[in-house]
Amino acid sequence: MQKIERSPIYYAYQEGWVSLSANILLFFIKYWIGVLSGSIAILADSWHTLSDSISSVIIILGFKVTEKPADRDHPFGHGRAQLIVSLIVGVILAVIAFNFILESIDRLQTKTGADIGLIAYLIIGFSVIAKEAMYQYAIRIGRKFKLNAIIADAWHHRSDAVSSLVILVGLFANQYFWWVDGVLGLLVALFIVQATYEIMRDAINPLLGETPDEKLLAQIKGICREHLNAEVNAHHFHVHKYGDHTELTFHIKMPGSLSLYDAHDLVTKVEKSILERFNIHSTIHMEPFRSSG
């Protein structure tokens, strides 16, 4: 039986819908336990979980836009919608971190601890395991298919798992030290801030344009040498990513004695080789070597 090859977008949709369904279920369970126990911590954590549902909706809508083909107004397709989705998820994480900081400071100032029953402990423990499993699922898909938006959503799951774990540990330790819950809340906030920074950086860099890594750079220069049969001066490399579509531009110095036709023919061969080997569409600006005399 022939194995069906699924596109990265298929797995992105799948992760989005699994994430949305699981988060809504966890929200209702946590909220119900929070109301029964009267625990503000669990109620707050339930709304934190619901915020993950918002990012999941953004993921689904974002990849729906990504699937749209190139058109007159967007000649390179709509792949950068993934980066925009990553930025939105990053902003959501930043807001969550800020709320954690405010809540933790308030608990330290008011010397407020927490007190819940056994069922609530079990529910929070289950939430930690479930959210960590969702993180592992999402991060595997995101890294395998290089989907920044899915990686961002994975870190959102991890932040929720850590926050629930902090609440759980804090509630145990708070029996002996009232300030533990507030201190651990601040630590979680800093963890989320770090994750937010990485997500925003990975989304912003491709939007601004970036240079290829050194290994790819050396391979591209090697292709230039193969076709020109000489040491070449290739420089001013810039990469522009549009989801699965990548554009590369750079300058290359060539002998001034070459005719325009011959120079164009050589550069076209270089561009075709780069496309065949790396699936990168390149545009090369030709410059003549200038004599020192």
Model-wide pTM > 0.75: no
Where along the chain do its domains lie? 8-207, 214-288
Per-residue pLDDT of the chain in tens (293 residues, 90 and over written 9) = 445 567 777 777 788 888 889 989 998 988 888 777 656 667 777 777 776 776 677 677 666 766 666 667 665 655 666 677 778 777 887 887 788 788 778 877 887 765 666 777 788 889 899 999 999 999 998 888 877 778 878 887 888 888 788 778 776 776 677 777 677 677 777 777 777 787 778 777 766 666 677 888 888 888 888 887 666 678 888 887 765 677 888 888 888 788 888 888 888 888 999 888 888 888 888 888 765 44
> CA-CA distance, 252 to 283, in Å (whole number)?
11
CB 174 within 8 A of CB 181: yes
Architecture, CATH, for domain 214-288? 2-Layer Sandwich (3.30)
CB 82 within 8 A of CB 62: yes
Q: How far is CA 143 from CA 50, 227, 253, 265, 293, in A?
A: 25, 34, 37, 38, 53
In CATH terms, the superfamily for domain 8-207 is Cation efflux protein transmembrane domain (1.20.1510.10)
> CA-CA distance, 218 to 213, in Å (whole number)?
9
Residues 6 or more apart whose Cβ sits within 8 Å of residue 144: none
